[in-house]
Structure 1
Amino acid sequence: MSRICELTGKGRQVGHNVSHANNKTKRTFLPNLQNVTLLSDALGKGIKMRVSTHGLRTVEHNGGLDNWLLKAGDDKLSASARKVRKEVVKKLAEKAA
């Protein structure tokens, strides 16, 4: 399983460990991913996702999963998140009609 946030697209970064003698060795910085169940108001159910803690904060800031998915671009979202967004849009269109 890749270490990439399903909502924000945040992934690993590469850098150096720097010793006291200024020796540099390669290392990776991994995002803080959590397995969470986010509640969708439009769908009326929980959706399990692997999300970074930064992603969780932005979802809460935007007022929930549905609002976040409607605002997010396709380039950031994973395939499963795009599928959930499509379901949310469809459900909201049914309610509006």
Structure 2
Amino acid sequence: MSAHCQLTGRKPGFGNAISHSHRRTSRRFDPNIQRKRYWLPSEGRYVRLTLSAAGIRTIDTIGIEAAVARICARGERI
């Protein structure tokens, strides 16, 4: 599963881990990605989405129908 939110588009960030001796090594900051299943009443089926925690809160606010419309408008298949 890729660390990519289908709704917000949030992806991993990259940077450096800096040790006590100030030596830098590459690291990756992953978003809090969850797989969540929602009932889509207009289609009469469940959809499984890969969402960040912020994406889940967005669906709680705008509703699943509007969220799926946003995802489909971007051309992503559900």
The count of aligned residue pairs is 77
> What residue number does 2:37 align with?
37
Structure with the bigger percentage of strand: 2
Supply the distance in 1 between the matched residues of 2:50 and 2:66 (Cα, whole angstroms): 18
Structure with the bigger percentage of helix: 1
Q: Among all aligned residue pairs of Structure 1 and Structure 2, give the percentage whose two residues are the same amino acid.
A: 27
Supply the distance in 1 between the matched residues of 2:43 and 2:51 (Cα, whole angstroms): 19
Q: Moved runs in structure 1, 4+ residues, more than 4 A?
A: none
> What residue number does 2:54 align with?
54
TM-score after normalising by structure 1: 0.65
The CA RMSD over aligned residues, in Å, is: 2.0
Which protein is bigger by CA-based radius of gyration? 1
> What residue number does 2:21 align with?
21
- Secondary structure of the residue aligned to 1:60 is helix
Unaligned runs of 5+ in 1: 82-97
